[in-house]
Structure 1
Amino acid sequence: MGKNTDNMNDLLSSRINSPDSPHPETVNSMFSKMMLQMTGFRESVKSNLSYEEVVAILREHLGGLCDIDSLLDKKTNKQEVDADANALFEKLLKELEDEREAERVEMEQYTITDIDELIVWKVGQTIHPALEDSLTKVRVFVEQILENDKESFEEFQDKSAKDKMKVLIYFNKQFYIHKKVWDELSENIHDPLLTNKMIGLMRIDASGLNINKLCKALANNRDLFNAYLG
């Protein structure tokens, strides 16, 4: 058994070019290295053989062991799949870039595009439709509160100026209201449109970050308040 092993080693050694050899691979050395690679051995292969010559060698030496043509078809199909995948990726990337560019162009059409900018909105400035939709929803909530609790608001309007301010302060629990707004409320405490809608705004559940920012902007920006709640 030892003699046969030694003979096999001699045979493989004689057929494998050294990694530093300047000579191109021969059919025998190529085949020998391929057999070694099948056992787990890895070594780079330099060859002047064409694709057709390699196919012929594989058919000659391995044709009786496996379907060479089928393996080659799978390789070709994998290359085709890879090519299709790359083309699809490039298409998706282009579509994403186009969407971002369209979004950028759309955003440039509006003065206010971020919820944090609403608090400094001025009459004449344009607001992005998505933000306008959110402001409209807040108005609907306020109107529903006023409609569903008419009696309480009627009682509120019968109170003294001092008691009305106490009620406003009581409901102001969820977002900050600037002193100048409180001063304006005090000066217009008997304006039912202003005070009722301000209480309605304060009674909205503003625990969420975005709804809190919307309500805060409406409460502190009188122009915004008048445009969307007035």
Structure 2
Amino acid sequence: MQTTLLREPALTAQLRALGLAWQSDIRDAGDRTKALYAPLLAAAPKDGVSTIKNLHYGPDERQVLDIYRPEKAAETPAPVFVFVHGGAFLRGAKDINGEMYGNVLTWFARQGCVGVNVEYRLAPGAAYPGGAQDVALACDWIAANIEDWGGDARRICLIGHSAGGRMRRPMRAIRRWGSHPGCKLWCWCRRGCARTCGPTTPTRRVCGPISGRTLHCMARCHPSPMRRTCACP
């Protein structure tokens, strides 16, 4: 189900012009960037994906997650990709607008994987480390329940975007996955950078049934003045 949507030159020019604004007002620049990408994301294919919204992993109204999976069930459990949004721990949502960030999990589901989009409580309503505790709780829920939704608990990849990749408590939960029966962290991606590995090939960028093409966008560390971290267990 590979579909390529080319970015129009006019959009590229607008994004380049917006680049310098990130240094002066990151929130405004972020909102303008999302608005520019919205039509492109709206045009992206979404067929073949079944979505289950707002499953509770805790009692709070924000302690919910969405599951994206292929409409056609696979014969064997599918790899699982878990996405945690950013927002400086103060703002943001798993569906920041009508197209984002569910598009990330939709894409993975169209490649035959199971995607999980995690919501968590924000400050000041949930003082630090409340949001991180929520993501750890969601990790526990996924480990215990994802196979009921067609996912393989032995192949879980955690993706953290911005603040979503800076939470230490979820990392502790991930380490607990190692002791959960039949559960294994397959890769850990923080702040847009990833490496995947298998139990006997810790330095390989790709393993298992997922192709290198599928993971192409996750297998590179892009140069940035901000430190980006890749880690495998």
Do the two structures share a fold, i.e. TM-score over 0.5? no
Asked which structure has the greater CA Rg, the reply is 1
Instruction: Give the helix-richer structure, 1 or 2.
Output: 1
Query: Which TM-score tier does this pair reach, normalised by the shorter chain?
Result: under 0.3
